[in-house]
Structure 1
Amino acid sequence: MDAPTSLVLGPMLRYADETTASVWVETAASAEVTVRCGARAWSARTFRVEGHHYALVVVDGLEPAKTCDYVLAVDGQPVWPPPDSRYPPPGIRTIDRTQPTRLAYGSCRTSVPHDREGNETNGVDALRALALAIAAGEAEQPDLIAFLGDQVYADLTSEAMREWISARRSLDEPPGEEIKDYAEYAHLYRLAWTDPANRWLLSTVPSCMIFDDHDIRDDWNTSWTWHETMNRTSWWHERLVGGLASYWVYQHIGNLSPDQLREDEIYRRVLSHDSDDELDLTDAVMDLASRVDRHPDVYRWSYVRDFGDSRLVVVDSRAARVLEPDRRSMLDPVEMAWLDDQLVGDVDHLLIGTSLPFLLPPGLHDFEAIDEMLATGAFSSQRLSRPVSRAAERLRQAVDLEHWAAFNEGFAEVFELVMAVARGERGRAPATVTFLSGDVHNSYVAQVDHAERYGARSLIVQVVCSPIRNPMPRTLRVFMSAFAKSLVRPMRWIASRSSRIPDPAYPWRVTDGPWFDNCIGELMVDGPALELTWRRGELPDGEGDPTLATVATVRLQGTGQPGIVAV
């Protein structure tokens, strides 16, 4: 096999700290994969899942605050960077804890061609615009890109994906044009990550990821009714197992540090495998996915990244839900206990990544809370309770009313944990506690009003960047803007009429936005302050290479005392 065809996907620079990093690849066959930085080299044998071959090369013993250009080889043959690459050499840059954190983030990116038609239907890919700007030296390289859900769309496939599916099965058979199994997921990821500019970016900037619903299917784990309906289909189990198994391979293992990889129940099989034969992980990964569906608490998808001035806690807000109608929560008790352990102070900025915004526009929060109350049958008239409940459930699934507001028990518990951090009850209060989210196809900033009245020493904010490439229909933008502004008071009045709908303990409001552009967000730490920027790609002629343009910049002044222990 020649070098150009031996590398299927990647390399992707995933985990990185002061002295270690991991590089993920998919190869065409069983192989030894090597990363070379200068005179040093690190290697890993591939493992396979469903006939596909992967390696995660752990690069250790690096110097802090240094960048080392690297070459990737498969069975000794250099395969990356390509000899005709128009981009700078890929490099592994270790964390410099003396410098302020610069974090890029976003969600919701469809995989359609970057031609005139694709840009007209889906807009310009903001990630690609960022990649080209960094490559040209026109934008700063972030320390990390956090992808907060919907990296792939398993239920809204592109023309190229549908053509590939139709070559292996009939589109008239369930699930039709949607993704069916692991093999189709593997091709879906290939379409998502092979654009040359984005591929270069992912090879040289560390990334972390978490799923949202479209990685599996729209409204994934919205309610018990949704769950039961899907389980009655002939295809759902295979789809879910394929989706979670491929997520473990393509997204999750790259989130983990070397120590966490050694503790992972599946990956430690890779580390302990001492045969020259390629390890087949198919059964183990598929079994894990099946068990997670039945018992979410058997495996954790959430994780933590620490920087010099910040801690990023990334929370699974999809797979760990409790869906029983009488005890709905976004997080099960095991996951909530883990989050309780992670939400502590003694950092300058506490960042909480959750694909679904924790603080929705207030009008939308109340709307979802009202729908949640009606869907659970909490209605004064027993005669009307069942039809109203059914109507509320249909509405919930039709317009995605399944954010934190629709799981009030978990929402309230997490809010209290955050307030305890902000009050300095869990260590030194950070300057800010910032939720980073996507999902809603618009970008905005929300802030807890007068948090100091509740004893908070930290600024508490919600920052959203969505979509990277999947714009909201214009007809829906009016409603989203209204929920952030004109409908806030009417929805609050309606919600307050019912004793069954709890009033939020700590009110908040949207302070900036919403913006509806395809965007990539950037958060930069500046002492106790955060500078937030949203950028889009611009293409005046509709095709070609986009330029990066600023949509908005917001500066938030933290109220804590970074580096000073409160007495």
Structure 2
Amino acid sequence: MASDLLLGPMLRRVDGDMATVWVETTSTATVTLRLLPDDHDDGARSWSAPTFAVHGHHYALLEVTGLSPGERVPYEVLVDDVVRWPEPGSPFPASTIGAPAHAGPVRLAFGSCRTSVPHDVTHHVSHGVDALRTFALAVADGDPGPLGTPPDLLLLLGDQVYADATSAEMQEFIAARRDITEEPGDELADYEEYAHLYGLAWGEPALRWLFSWLPSLMIFDDHDVRDDWNTSAEWRRQMEATSWWHGRIVAGLGSYWVYQHLGNLSAAERAEDPLWRELQRRQEAEPDVEVDLTDDVDAFADRADQEPGTYRWSYTHRLGDSRLVVVDSRAARTLERGNRSMLDDAEMAWLDEQLTGDVEHLLVAISLPFLLPMGLHRIEALNEAMAEGRVAPRLTGVAERVRQELDLEHWAAFTDAFTTVAHMVTEVADGQRGAPPASVLFLSGDVHFSYVTEVDRESGSRMLQLVCSPVRNPLPRALRAFAAFGSHAARPVGALFLRWAKIPEPPWRWHGIAGPWFDNNLAVLEIDGEDLRTVWLGGRLVGGPDDRPDLDIVADLALDVPPAGTAHQRPLARVHPDRRRGFVGRLRRRLTRHR
């Protein structure tokens, strides 16, 4: 049977005049990307790559070169010389590829936490409207949102797939392969199940089209592997005592390298990657044979888990005159009691090298928020001290259980690492590491509510935390109350407990600017010189369950940089009126729906 596209094409990293395109095919093949010539071209340009195999699945990565800045060109994908993309009769516009313009605003979409469940009335009630799919449909219909232009890059900040909270469709696939009553039950067990889950996550038609033209970068979070991944040494011991954890972590990291990380790397970084180098070596040695990389991927993933210092998942990317630093806050942790850190020594040293000035804006993307609401930050710092036995030693076990149950494992729960990074960023913002950028922006997800906070400063770079979570997995209402409590009422309570426990306050103070919002959202950040603007976009069902959702503005924030020598002013936060809470908000939505 002729080979076909199974997933993709996915336009991944774009650097200068080169773009990376990833695909998965149904069988061994040669994949070709061909630019469609216009009236001014003499002929089509094309690039080809053979597939490689991992656990019976087939992938190809194409490096498209010589793209013109600011110009997007339609393309097609051929598998063994047969056009497989665009699909016949596709309702979506042509997929295009191009290099970024040398000047002008840069727009970055970001978000995290997206479950792969159907888009029907039942799941709209249980999981809300998928913000990413809604955005794709809107752009396909010619509505790019309030910024007027589609983003230049999509940054997915973790939990692209949920290995531990599977949908009914995923459970049906698992049950057809093995006894679902035995460990690990309806959670993922191996690479084959991860491959199927990625198919559910990325195979929806609107998303396939979105990924085919919008460059994307990614980083994992806990649910890509399992809830609370590397929360503590105790959690790690609990997992390693099971019969299934080794298979899970090897499959999780191996599939992550194939499906997500490979496309994060620049061409130069891929050339230094040990797995990619092995693939290239074997393809050159036997050009007519598909390379089976299964054993190499498994061995690599096992070693990356057992010896995190042997591989780095973090990376950087240029955004116009700004720099994006994407940080792994899961796999590179140090967990032993008395020596806990969000980042091990090697990763911390790498981050130290990346946090420099001489850029317009410095963006630090981490799946976990660096700045929680102040009340929650203090609660997690106290919990860390108790779980470590530094405060109330008799309650150590209770504190550990609370940490796992309530996910108290953000940067605030790794106090020394938080303080170290805060000092690094302060030096950047104060001009001690080159000319200070206009702002230092932390971009994060994970917590299932969105908000903006700002560090209290009178001069130097502004420091802001922007959180967008979830894309599609809303926080249960009972936990929303806890999040709201941590944002407001817990501030004085947390301060009191820190004084009681003799725990130092964090080196910064920060305050909320906007939020929290608990809707499914996708955020789009626009960088235009020193000016910043961020909108949070969601989906709203106006008609019946079969209607496509409308793109909805949840919030629109102008984050203008104040003039030099003046105190930082609170930016303007414009919350969309249809998202008002309470009786008035519900009445307004109902009236709007039935007009």
Q: How do residues 15-414 of structure 1 correspond to structure 2 at under 5 angstroms? A: 15-38=13-36, 39-139=44-144, 140-272=149-281, 273-274=283-284, 275=286, 276-379=288-391, 385-386=393-394, 388-414=395-421
Structure 2: distance between partners of 1:498 and 1:560: 41
1:428 to 419, 432, 435: 435
Whether contact under 8 Å (2:360, 2:437) holds in the other structure is yes
Q: What is the root-mean-square deviation of aligned Cα atoms in Å?
A: 1.1
Residue 509 of structure 1 is matched in structure 2 by 511
What SS does the corresponding residue of 2:532 show, helix, strand or coil? strand
What SS does the corresponding residue of 1:551 show, helix, strand or coil? strand
Q: Deviations over 1:167-222 (max 9, x none)?
A: 00010110000000100000000000011001100111000000000000000000
What SS does the corresponding residue of 1:61 show, helix, strand or coil? coil
Structure 2: distance between partners of 1:476 and 1:379: 26
Structure 2: distance between partners of 1:560 and 1:223: 44
Structure 2: distance between partners of 1:434 and 1:391: 35
Residue 565 of structure 1 is matched in structure 2 by none
Q: Deviations over 1:442-471 (max 9, x none)?
A: 00001001x23xxx5100010000000000
Structure 2: distance between partners of 1:284 and 1:270: 9
Structure 2: distance between partners of 1:97 and 1:263: 27
Partner letter of residue 271 of structure 1? Q
Q: CA deviation at 1:553?
A: 1.0
Structure 2: distance between partners of 1:544 and 1:11: 27
Whether contact under 8 Å (1:71, 1:78) holds in the other structure is yes
2:493 to 490, 493, 498: 490
Matched, 1:460 2:442: no
Q: Deviations over 1:426-455 (max 9, x none)?
A: 111111100000000000001001x23xxx
Structure 1: distance between partners of 2:126 and 2:72: 39
Whether contact under 8 Å (1:32, 1:74) holds in the other structure is yes
Structure 2: distance between partners of 1:41 and 1:280: 25
What SS does the corresponding residue of 1:557 show, helix, strand or coil? coil
Q: Deviations over 1:340-362 (max 9, x none)?
A: 11111111111010000000000
Partner letter of residue 264 of structure 1? D
Matched, 1:476 2:479: yes
Q: CA deviation at 1:478?
A: 1.6
Stretches of 4+ moved more than 3 A in 1?
none
Structure 2: distance between partners of 1:510 and 1:379: 29
Residue 546 of structure 1 is matched in structure 2 by 549
Whether contact under 8 Å (2:132, 2:471) holds in the other structure is yes
Q: Deviations over 1:38-60 (max 9, x none)?
A: 31000111111111100011101
Q: CA deviation at 1:560?
A: 8.2
What SS does the corresponding residue of 2:110 show, helix, strand or coil? strand
5+ residue gaps, structure 2: 37-43, 565-595
Q: CA deviation at 1:559?
A: 5.1
Q: Deviations over 1:137-163 (max 9, x none)?
A: 111321100000000000000000000
Q: CA deviation at 1:271?
A: 2.6
Q: CA deviation at 1:61?
A: 1.4
Whether contact under 8 Å (2:391, 2:501) holds in the other structure is no
Q: CA deviation at 1:301?
A: 0.4
Structure 1: distance between partners of 2:347 and 2:428: 18
What SS does the corresponding residue of 1:401 show, helix, strand or coil? coil
Partner letter of residue 245 of structure 2? W
Q: CA deviation at 1:131?
A: 0.3
What SS does the corresponding residue of 2:182 show, helix, strand or coil? coil
5+ residue gaps, structure 1: 562-567
Q: CA deviation at 1:477?
A: 1.1
Matched, 1:7 2:5: yes
What SS does the corresponding residue of 1:335 show, helix, strand or coil? helix
Whether contact under 8 Å (2:368, 2:444) holds in the other structure is yes
Whether contact under 8 Å (2:67, 2:98) holds in the other structure is no
Structure 2: distance between partners of 1:515 and 1:543: 26
Whether contact under 8 Å (1:305, 1:312) holds in the other structure is yes
Partner letter of residue 374 of structure 1? M
Whether contact under 8 Å (1:108, 1:466) holds in the other structure is yes
Structure 1: distance between partners of 2:277 and 2:289: 16
Partner letter of residue 53 of structure 2? R
Residue 564 of structure 1 is matched in structure 2 by none
- TM-score, normalisation: structure 2: 0.91
Q: CA deviation at 1:292?
A: 1.2
Q: CA deviation at 1:269?
A: 2.1
Partner letter of residue 400 of structure 1? D
What SS does the corresponding residue of 2:10 show, helix, strand or coil? strand
Structure 1: distance between partners of 2:101 and 2:316: 18
Structure 2: distance between partners of 1:309 and 1:124: 35
Structure 1: distance between partners of 2:202 and 2:252: 17
Residue 583 of structure 2 is matched in structure 1 by none
Structure 1: distance between partners of 2:447 and 2:367: 9
Structure 1: distance between partners of 2:152 and 2:450: 22
**Number of residue pairs the alignment of both structures matches:** 549
